[in-house]
Amino acid sequence: MSTANKPARPRRAIASSETAREINRDILLRTIHLHQPVSRADLARLTGLQPSTVSVIIGQLIDEDWVLPGELGRLPRGRRPTFVVLNDRHAALAIDLRPGRANLAAVDINGKLLGRELVAYDLHAGSSADEAKTAIARIAQVARKLRTAHGDRLFHGLGVSVSGRVEQKTHRLLFSPNVPWNQIDLYAELSRELEMLIEMDNAANACLFSERWFGNFSDVANMLVVSVSEGIGAGLLIDGRVARGRDGMAGEFGHMALEPVSADAPVCGCGNTGCWETFASNRAGLRYYHELAPESELASFQELIELAQAGDLRALRAIDRMSVYLARGLATLAAGLAPEAIIVVGDCTALWPRIRPVLESQLIARSFTPQTPRVAAAVDGDAARLRGAAAMVLLKTLFRSTDFTLRLPRADEQVADRESC
């Protein structure tokens, strides 16, 4: 074969010393977050980096104000080590946009909610753009008050969790069947009102960030987060990366057909019938209760939860029926996606001891393998969306070497650190 006809060799990226430094920096930040307070010696042991590299990078992080030297440790003999922690002065504003209300919070880098507010509004699928803009202006006013109330913190931006799908490159809200945020340029309106960095994503994806950064699933590479509210959305972590699909639409499993199309079936916000969320969402649970108690004036899912917690049999039956449909959908997703863990987020987790056995039994009954995914409720309930929204901002600001996904650096990913400090 002539030289001209030989296939070109693929070009390989070569890591520079600067790239190595950034990777090691991110590994150390991640390890501090997981183990804080932690000494430099323990950081070297946990990451496999040279102690000299650890010391230099920690010094830089202290100079940058990301890390604080903490209390002195105690050893049987020798020099007492200084523990380091992430500087909780760093924070973000978070907004969880839901039908009927917006939850707002100021959240520090360690996930502590510094303050919370609620803004109620009367918006529905048929609301006008002007009504949506008015609601956003009210929400922004409360967000500014939150930022002022915590003026001692360094706010890096605003994270927005929204019931809909967001195209990440353009920030456009492509799909929002239950609230008319796609009637306006939501990103532009918030940017104009608040003049700060804004990260916006689907509520279920926000919960992925919460679980990976603030929860108990930091080392799980394949995870499914299912957000149950007025609708159902899912966030997918596959091999350590968020699955977004075309235009960011991956995860709208609430609109997969769970039952055949029927003229007398409830109509979904997307316009179809038979969708999973018409059988397993908060609205479905409320509908089941009214079928059992047509005389009732029960108006909210939270009231239904409170009735069930008080032992009301009809409320419990409604929750059980909702749980069975939720389990059927989860079993289908588990078969196709093979997650290690399934995290359920939503008001229904207040009844988790009753709901969890239903979900687990269905997953076991429908599984064709010996292993079934671990099923858990989000560690922080309805605050998961807020913490996740804040994490989207803080992680983008904090980490340098990784692209803005959930593939956070792990201790087993260190590079050779010769001359890389």
Percent of the chain with pLDDT over 70: 87
Average pLDDT, the chain: 85
Tell me the pLDDT band of 12, cut-offs 50, 70 and 90: very low
Residue 415 above 70 pLDDT? no
Residue 296 above 70 pLDDT? yes
- Those residues whose C-beta lies under 8 Å from the C-beta of residue 32, and which sit 6 or more positions away, are 38, 43, 67, 84, 85, 86
418: number of Cβ within 10 Å: 10
Transcribe 311-364 into DSSP letters: T-HHHHHHHHHHHHHHHHHHHHHHHHH--SEEEEEEGGGGGHHHHHHHHHHHHH
Query: What is the topology classification, in CATH, of domain 17-87?
Result: Arc Repressor Mutant, subunit A (1.10.10)
**Integer CA distances (angstroms), 166 to 31, 157, 236, in order:** 31, 18, 15
Residue 384 above 80 pLDDT? yes
Q: Tens digits of per-residue pLDDT, 248-274?
A: 778 889 889 888 777 778 888 788 888
- Token pair belonging to 51: 């102690």
DSSP code at position 3: G
Residue 74 pLDDT: 60
Homologous superfamily of domain range 216-378: ATPase, nucleotide binding domain (3.30.420.40)
Residue 129 above 90 pLDDT? no
Distance of CA 150 to the CA centre of its chain: 24
Residue 348 above 60 pLDDT? yes
Tell me the pLDDT band of 13, cut-offs 50, 70 and 90: very low
Q: Tens digits of per-residue pLDDT, 164-212?
A: 788 888 888 877 766 677 778 889 999 999 999 999 998 888 888 888 8
Domain ranges of the chain: 17-87, 90-210+383-398, 216-378
Query: What is the topology classification, in CATH, of domain 90-210+383-398?
Result: Nucleotidyltransferase; domain 5 (3.30.420)
How many CA within 13 A on the CB side of residue 37?
10
Residue 342 above 70 pLDDT? yes
Residue 140 above 90 pLDDT? yes
Residue 73 pLDDT: 55
Which of the two residues, 366 and 81, has the higher pLDDT score? 366
Residue 184 pLDDT: 85
Answering whether pTM is above 0.75, one says yes
Residue 177 pLDDT: 66
Q: Tens digits of per-residue pLDDT, 36-89?
A: 999 999 999 999 999 999 999 999 999 999 999 976 556 555 566 789 999 999
How far is the C-alpha of 175 from the C-alpha of 249, rounded, in Å? 8
Q: Do the domains 17-87 and 216-378 sit in the same CATH topology, yes or no?
A: no
Tell me the pLDDT band of 145, cut-offs 50, 70 and 90: very high
Please state the rounded mean pLDDT for residues 14-21.
67
